[in-house]
């Protein structure tokens, strides 16, 4: 049954069906062929959405949309430019750091590209950087967002794999900082090799202080978010709600740039994005349930453990699998389909669930940079009107730090597990 299910699913994808439709229709066909009650379709799909952690998804999307609407991304970019402006390749380094800061608000790679991409690429091109380099760096830096909390893919993974969402979000902090550092080292090496320009900005202490004061409310948002998670008083959903309230507060009374029209636009964008994500979640839950009926998770566990019981070997195999899957399948759908199959097997082999969650998401974020699906490639292509081939050429050098980060996180469990285990006993 599972082979037929996968064949129908892949066939629908090849024909151009949306991922959610391919998942739902293939599952419905298998349920009908096997004589199961049709009511299972509604029951399993609705039950998948009855999850408290999933409430954080629309709230984080709304918070990011509100902060972007009030123009905080420009303030953040200007502040970091003032602080790092005299370093060779400074604007490129600024793009990475701003992506890290904004990732503490948005929780999604595509949200980072949508909010920051046009600003980052325009600033780099104005300084004389090649357009393919600017596009490639923007895409690579956006992979930080889904690793650093809040992370929508990590929240979804936690709900599927029955892992503490708070601990898993905290598990992404050190890997995200590692990824940021490796990207900055890569840019530093390229800056020396290709003689990248220094920034033309010449700030005075007064200008820096003024910009810091203006940017401070925006910088405080990720501090509130991570502080809330670390305190243990808030779960992901509560922190997401507080972040939305904070965004409204500073937008209305500090920056005074949020209008009723902008708020309604943000709400509409949130509804659209949430509907797309949760439709995939419900359809994928049905798909995973049909696979479970055919005991696919148990069979996969037996196969993996039959190959090796060494956690590092199994993580290497999973990395290869996920890198391949990330090329052809949307990341949230991949989490929902594959996590329930391989997570139990690796847990039996001794892989820490927190490490596996971070490795899982990092793999799929690298998949956003690889064709044919590669949504980040197409989004930057649309924003900049560059041919996709030019964007791909620009992103190629950044696979080195991305894959190196993946290897280190896979080989050293403590990078993912130390912080959450230290803070939450």
Q: Which domain holds residue 57?
A: 52-423
Question: Residue 270: CA atoms inside 13 Å, Cβ hemisphere, count?
Answer: 23
- In this prediction, residue 345 carries a pLDDT of 84
- In this prediction, residue 285 carries a pLDDT of 79
Please say if the pLDDT value at position 286 is more than 90.
no
- In this prediction, residue 355 carries a pLDDT of 95
How many domains, in total, are found in the chain? 1
Please say if the pLDDT value at position 185 is more than 90.
yes
- In this prediction, residue 405 carries a pLDDT of 96
Residues 6+ apart with CB under 8 A from 137: 92, 95, 96, 120, 124, 183, 187, 394, 398
Measured from the Cβ of residue 347, the count of other Cβ atoms closer than 10 Å reads: 17
Please say if the pLDDT value at position 329 is more than 80.
no
% of residues, the chain, pLDDT over 90: 18
Task: Answer yes or no: are the C-beta atoms of 174 and 418 closer than 8 Å.
Answer: yes
Task: Answer yes or no: are the C-beta atoms of 100 and 148 closer than 8 Å.
Answer: yes
Residue 203 lies in a domain: yes
- In this prediction, residue 409 carries a pLDDT of 96
Written as one string, the DSSP assignment of 281-299 is: HHHHHHHHHHHHHTTHHHH
Which alpha helices (DSSP H) does 195-259 contain, by range? 205-231, 236-249
Secondary structure (3-state) at 88:
strand
Residue 248 lies in a domain: yes
Please say if the pLDDT value at position 105 is more than 60.
no
Residue 78 lies in a domain: yes
Rounded mean pLDDT of 372-384?
Answer: 73
Residue 34 lies in a domain: no
Burial tier of 193 (Cβ tally within 10 Å: 0-12, 13-18, 19+): exposed
Rounded mean pLDDT of 289-301?
Answer: 73
Residue 344 lies in a domain: yes
Secondary structure (3-state) at 40:
helix
Supply the DSSP symbol for 197.
Answer: P
What is the C-alpha to C-alpha distance for residues 126 and 28, in angstroms, rounded to an integer?
53
Instruction: Identify the CA nearest to 364 among candidates 107, 112, 147, 114.
Output: 147
pLDDT, tens only, 152-173: 889 889 988 889 888 999 999 9
What is the C-alpha to C-alpha distance for residues 77 and 138, in angstroms, rounded to an integer?
13
Please say if the pLDDT value at position 115 is more than 60.
no
Residues 6+ apart with CB under 8 A from 49: 278, 281, 282
- In this prediction, residue 116 carries a pLDDT of 63
What is the C-alpha to C-alpha distance for residues 199 and 214, in angstroms, rounded to an integer?
21
Written as one string, the DSSP assignment of 304-323 is: HHHH---HHHHHHHHHHHHH
- In this prediction, residue 112 carries a pLDDT of 57
Instruction: Identify the CA nearest to 107 among candidates 54, 149, 63.
Output: 149
Task: Answer yes or no: are the C-beta atoms of 337 and 289 closer than 8 Å.
Answer: no
Task: Answer yes or no: are the C-beta atoms of 418 and 175 closer than 8 Å.
Answer: no
Residue 315 lies in a domain: yes
Residue 22 lies in a domain: no
Residue 21 lies in a domain: no
pLDDT, tens only, 1-27: 677 877 888 788 778 787 788 888 888
Pair of tokens at residue 145: 């967002």
- In this prediction, residue 320 carries a pLDDT of 87
Q: What is the mean pLDDT of the chain?
A: 83
Secondary structure (3-state) at 146:
coil
Please say if the pLDDT value at position 406 is more than 90.
yes
Checking phi first, is residue 295 left (phi over 0); if not, alpha (psi -120 to 50) or beta?
left
Q: For the whole model, what pTM was predicted? A: 0.83
């Amino acid at each position: 049954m599972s082979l037929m299910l996968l064949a129908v699913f892949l066939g629908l994808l090849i024909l151009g069906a949306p991922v959610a439709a391919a998942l739902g229709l293939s599952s419905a066909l298998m349920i009908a062929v096997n004589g199961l009650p049709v009511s299972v379709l509604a029951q399993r799909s609705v039950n998948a959405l009855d999850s408290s952690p999933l409430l954080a998804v629309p709230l984080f999307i709304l918070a990011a949309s509100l902060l972007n609407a009030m123009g905080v991304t420009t303030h953040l970019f200007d502040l970091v430019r003032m602080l790092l402006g005299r370093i060779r390749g400074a604007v490129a380094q600024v793009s990475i750091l701003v992506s890290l800061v904004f990732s503490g608000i948005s929780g999604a790679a595509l949200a980072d590209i949508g909010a920051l991409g046009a600003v980052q690429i325009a600033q780099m091109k104005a300084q004389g950087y090649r357009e393919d380099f600017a596009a490639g760096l923007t895409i690579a830096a956006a992979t930080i967002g889904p690793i650093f909390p809040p992370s929508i893919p990590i929240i979804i993974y936690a709900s599927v794999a029955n892992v503490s969402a708070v601990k898993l979000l905290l598990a992404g902090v050190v890997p995200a900082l590692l990824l940021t550092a490796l990207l900055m080292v890569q840019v530093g090496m390229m800056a020396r090799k290709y003689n990248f320009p220094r920034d033309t900005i010449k700030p005075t202490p007064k200008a820096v202080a003024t910009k810091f004061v203006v940017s401070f409310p925006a910088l405080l948002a990720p501090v509130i978010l991570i502080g809330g998670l670390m305190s243990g008083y808030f779960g992901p959903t509560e922190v997401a709600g507080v972040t939305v309230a904070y965004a409204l507060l500073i937008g209305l009374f500090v920056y005074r740039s949020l209008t009723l029209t902008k708020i309604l636009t943000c709400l509409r964008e949130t509804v659209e994005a949430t509907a797309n994500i949760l439709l995939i979640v419900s359809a994928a839950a049905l798909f995973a349930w049909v696979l479970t009926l055919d005991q696919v998770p148990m069979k996969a566990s037996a196969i993996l453990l039959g190959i090796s019981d060494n956690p590092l070997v199994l993580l290497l195999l999973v990395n290869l699998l996920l890198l391949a899957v990330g090329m052809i399948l949307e990341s949230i759908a991949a989490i929902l389909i594959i996590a329930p199959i391989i997570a139990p097997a690796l847990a039996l082999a001794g892989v820490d669930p927190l490490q596996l969650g971070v490795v899982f998401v990092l793999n799929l974020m690298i998949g956003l940079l690889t064709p044919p699906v590669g949504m980040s490639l197409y989004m930057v292509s649309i924003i900049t009107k560059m041919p996709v081939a030019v964007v791909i050429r620009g992103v190629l050098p950044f696979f080195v730090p991305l894959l190196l980060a993946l290897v280190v996180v896979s080989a050293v469990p403590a990078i993912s597990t130390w912080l959450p285990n230290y803070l939450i006993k």
